[in-house]
Every structure is written in C-alpha cells, then in structure tokens.
Amino acid sequence: MTKFQSIFWHRRDLRFGDNIGLFEASKNSKSLIGVYVLDPKLLDLNRTTSEAKNWFLGESLIELQKNWEIRGSRLLILNGDPIELISKLAELVHAECIYWNENIEPYEINRDKQIAEKLSKEKRKVYTFLDQLIVNPSNIKTNNDEPYKVYGPFYRKWIDIINTTKSSENNLIQTSETAKQLTGLNERELSSIKNSDLNYCITNKSKSIYELLSLNRFNNTNLCPCKPGESESIKQLNSFIHSGVINSYNKARDIPSLENTSHLSAALSLGTISCRVVWNGAQVSKNATDDEYKINSIDTWIKELAWREFYQNALINFPELEKGPYREKWLDFSWQNRPDWFEAWGDGLTGIPIIDAAMRQLKCSGWMHNRCRMIVASFLVKDLLIDWRLGELFFMKSLVDGDLAANNGGWQWSASSGMDPKPMRIFNPFRQASKFDEDGEYIRKWIPELSHISTPNLLSGEISSAERNSYPKPIISHKNQTSIFKELYSNIK
C-alpha cells in the first residue's frame, strides 16, 4: 500500500489512547503532523464555552503537544476559521491525506462538510471515523427504522448491540491500538509553516496556548474536580474503579457532599479519554465481583454512559433541538423571565439554601454535582418561571464539562420540553435537600455564612432574620410559584 504525507486533525479526541482516526492515520502515512484549530465559533465565552472549559482544553492541548513530540512529530495549534486553515496547512506541508474523527453537533457537521468539499476540490483525500460514541447511531433504530425518543427503549437496544459485539472471553469492547512512533515533517516543511502567516503555536517555539485561550482567567483550578489531560483522565478512571467508588455508585451518586462520581464528564466531552476505555473499565470491575449490589451499582454507572449517547443521538437525529424545545407547545408558554430573579439564581442569592449552594459551587469550581443540576434547573423553570434556554446558556458559559448534547438534553428533561413522558415533574428544593444533603454538609461547605444554622432549619429554609446575617430572604414561595406554573402549563396542553 502506498503511504502518503498526512495531517490528523484533533477535535474532541485530545489523546493518543484508543483514538481510532489517529491510529489509522499513523498506520497509513509516511509522515504525519497533528493539528488542532481554535475555532472562534466554539470558543465564544458569551455562547459556546466557559473559562473553566478553556482551561481544561488548553492544559489538555499542552500535554497532547508533548505526546506528539515524544513520538517524533508535532502538533500545531492554529487559531481561526478551520475551513480556511486546514486547507492552507495542507498546501504548506504538501499533505495528500487529512484524517479526523467525526463530531455530532450541527455546526460541526456542516463545517466539516464544507472542509471535506474544499479539500476534495484540491485533490486531497479525506478519511473520517466514528470515535466519539460506543455504538454507531445508524444502528440504534426502532423496528420502524426511526430514532428512539425515549431513554428506556434506547438503552435496551444500545446494551443489546454492545453485548453482541463485545469479546466473549472478557466481555470487553474492542479498542484501537495506540500510535507509538511517528515520522514528522522535515526541516523544509517546518520552515514553510514558520514563514507563513498562520496564527499558530508550537510547544516552546511561538505564541503560547495560554495567550490564545486567555487561560489565566480561570483561577479556581484547585476546586475543579475534572482534571485536564489524557494522563489525568486515566488516573481518575482508575481511581474511581480501583478505590471501589464505582461499587457504591448506585446509592452514593446522588449525595453531593461525597466524592462518589467519576468526574470524567469533561474528559469524555473533549476526548482526553475514550468512551470505550471508560466502558471497559467498568466492565473489568464488574467481571471481578459476584456481589449483586456492586454489579447493580456498576450497571447504574454504565447507564449514565447510555444517557450520554442518548442525548448525542437525539441531537444527531433532531438537530433543531439546539434552537428550541422538542415539544413545540412549549413555544407558547408564558415565561416571566424576571432579570432580577435570574441574576439572583446565577449568583447563588435566591435565599433557598440548596439552590444557592449548588450555584456557588458552579461559580467557584466550574462544576456542579448532577443531582444539583437537576434541582437548580427545575427551580429556574418551574419556580422562577424563566425560559430553560437561558439556564442552558448560563451553564454552557460556566461549566468545565459544557457539552451541547448533554446540556441541552438535561435542560429539556428538567423543563419537560424534551423527549420525556413526565411533563409535570417538579422538584421541591427543600425535600431534595432533606433527602440528598440530610446533614447539611454540602450546603454548609458552599454557604459558610449559614454554618451555624441548625440542620432542620438549614434544610427547610426556615431561618430567622436574626440568624441570616448577610444571607438573603427567599425571593419566592415554592408553593405559590409552582401553582402559577401549573396554571400557565394548563394553557398550552
């Protein structure tokens, strides 16, 4: 087989391990260079990303660059429009082939189509691979060849496909080999890049990633439980499994004061670890026990991976979800959208302790426990009567693991506007606090001015004016507001 000079374009796959497209590129190329493009449309701090996510991205890219150098090649970081830059780079280094792993967001699909067409006109070959999901979305269809709209049936189909394709010996999914030794560019080709007008970054040789991403803007890295880079992602997975945390996940996953989740959400979103490696890690743990409780806990965690793919499939099959509700009747809902209430919610100053603790955790660390995400989302929509799309955007501008499919799916679930058969699900924040933070540890951690309040009063929100200090009174009555919500909802049934 004739081998060509090639480019591998990293996107949501910032790793060498189990990177399908990268391994295929390394196997079939006589020389290979990597590239990552800082796409302004995906790095808009007002719409599509956060300071925390930019920090995670930047640190992951720094490690990835070093891993390319260790293997004998380079990873270039370019800043600008990928449609122009990928083509320009290919011309500069005389690349005949460009490889990448497919993405699933509407903008990315359209962008990649334009790039592929441009490269084809230039007589270059494009090779793309499905790497971001465990199961190919085209294989998850109903008997009528339609996409699933409810999680339960989707999960059963998803796990059936996995069970029929995994190894009969160890129950593991096949993963890709890791590219080990690469042949990079020669001096003439490197010189052509250095002398070009590409806005680029090479480790220790030019404009830094910190400069391009303004990484110094996120200062609370020690509070963020999601750790950037491929090596840290592997450590976090191993810790989650080998410490036995995964074995108690079924019960402990809903307790926000405990460190009982994997914290791999950002790693999966930006691909510093692969979904197949993560699934296999859980399966290895499952293979090692006969304890039914542990097996159920591991299965519960695996179902969370299925939720991730359910929302990704939903966005692939219904790209209009990005812009509005799946259930169109919600377009007629009379949102109140009070700016002062929205500001109080975002700042953690609603006077409802569990809500404020969660929002302060997000503000300080760039991350929020999943149970709390559901509580604060329900509160924004069904207590404050604020359009869920405002909350969705706020999360994308705040979360280290902000991911369009997962974030949109979660908000539509909470708002009852998505693919969900329970439209009147309303979370009572006080009951949620009593059930999942029964000793008040989580609230006290993030609202220290309430540390002296008795646990019953802390959870119920019944705090006297004398005890409040600077903490605000509740901005609404949960009972009154949910009554108003139900009345407004009755108008769109």
Amino acid at 190: L
* Active-site hit among 304, 317, 322, 428: 304
* Active-site hit among 307, 322, 428, 467: 307
Report helix, strand or coil for 37. Answer: strand
Catalytic residue status for 388: yes
Q: How many residues does the chain have?
A: 493
Radius of gyration of the chain (CA): 24
Q: For residue 197, what are the contacts with CB-CB under 8 A and spacing of at least 6? A: none
* Active-site hit among 69, 199, 335, 457: 335
Q: Is the sign of the CA dihedral 278, 279, 283, 286 positive or negative?
A: positive
The rounded distance, in Å, linking the Cα atoms of 454 and 462 is 10
3-state SS of the chain: helix, strand, coil percent to 5?
55, 5, 40
Catalytic residue status for 301: no
Phi, psi of 9 (to 5 degrees): -100, 110
* Active-site hit among 367, 388, 413, 446: 388
The rounded distance, in Å, linking the Cα atoms of 230 and 424 is 41
* Active-site hit among 199, 370, 428, 457: 370
Catalytic residue status for 341: no
- Please give the angle made by the CA atoms of 437, 343 and 50, to the nearest 5 degrees: 80
Report helix, strand or coil for 33. Answer: strand
6 and 31 Cβ atoms separated by less than 8 Å: yes
Catalytic residue status for 100: no
Q: Please, what is the angle between helix 370-382 and helix 388-396, to 10°?
A: 140
The rounded distance, in Å, linking the Cα atoms of 312 and 309 is 5
* Active-site hit among 341, 411, 413, 446: 411
Selection from 237, 217, 214, 212 nearest residue 227 by Cα: 237
Neighbour-count burial for 427-466, b at 16+ CB within 10 Å, e otherwise: bbbbebbbebbeebebbbebbeebeebeeeebbebebeee
Q: Please, what is the angle between helix 230-242 and helix 275-287, to 10°?
A: 20
65 and 203 Cβ atoms separated by less than 8 Å: yes
What DSSP character marks residue 19?
Answer: -
Catalytic residue status for 158: no
95 and 123 Cβ atoms separated by less than 8 Å: no
Catalytic residue status for 446: no
Residues with catalytic annotation? 304, 307, 335, 370, 388, 411
